[in-house]
Amino acid sequence: MSSSAQAKKRGKIILFGDSITQMSFSAADCGWGAWIADRYQRRADVLNRGFSGYNSDWFLQFAATDEGKADLFDHDNVKIVTVFFGANDAADLELNPRQHVPLERYKSNIKEMASLARNNFGEDVSIIFIAPPPVCHDGRLKFQKDKYKDKATGKLERTLELSGKYAKAMTEVAKELNLPCLDVWTKMQESSSSLKPWQEYLSDGLHLSAAGNKFVGEALINLIDDLLPELAVAPCQVSGNINSSSRSSISMKRIAPWHDEIDHLQPEKSFRNLSLE
């Protein structure tokens, strides 16, 4: 394959994470991953590599297996990798030792994920860290009661304080590695108002609701626009559409001519150069 043909291959965006990432393609909840896939129509395939219930330890252990290497890293032309862990790592040590990961090891694990992304996708891949969301205590207690009925303990093994510590750790690692970080924990709470309290962004006190997915999807797109402009996609300034020649991107090039670029009288002219590459 020629270098020009390689350059025109559709790019890839890979989402690493736990259940909040696994569910990011949810149609019912307007998943944040679907927001990214929508923005990068005809420019990049968005690959969901979220694993429900996983902490950063388990993800790295999977990544070391042959199956994990093939699933996570056997991809070319990767432009962006998101790393979204911490919701499970931040589980209380005494109440949920199964998923808990000590803070310092969590930080080390996040660094290892960045290193794996660089080693497998190249030094030019853009890595974005996403800090875990806040935890709504009332929402978690309601979820517990609804699920376990009279067996509910009433004890919180996920808390706002613990999730905040892991969110802060994620932002610290991002700063150390000079990588962009979407601090969901902070941004959600800062956006809160009497009309839209941040608790509404969570479906069960931990996972994202439809509103929460919209919040994360829009925030991530804005982060890319601001900090990684060469990878951003600008909608049409007039219509806001992202599916025609009026939208643009510096390095995320579209695949195949847009329909409004094709001469209906001589359509073959629009495709001739593609065959010559």
Half-sphere exposure of 130 (CA within 13 A, CB side): 26
φ/ψ of residue 89, rounded to 5: -55, -35
CB-based contacts of 189, cutoff 8 Å, min separation 6: 134, 198
CA distance linking residue 246 with residue 237, whole number of Å: 8
Q: Is 245 a known active-site residue?
A: no
CB-based contacts of 207, cutoff 8 Å, min separation 6: 19, 20, 23
Burial of 93 (0-12, 13-18, 19+ CB in 10 A): exposed
Tokens 């150069």 belong to 273
CA distance linking residue 50 with residue 20, whole number of Å: 7
Tell which residue, 254, 213, 269, has the closest CA to residue 21: 213
Q: Is 204 a known active-site residue?
A: yes
- Name the active-site residue from 204, 225, 244, 251: 204
195 Rama sector, left if φ>0, alpha if ψ -120 to 50, beta otherwise: alpha
Tokens 């600008």 belong to 234
Q: Is 19 a known active-site residue?
A: yes
Active-site annotation, residues: 19, 204, 207
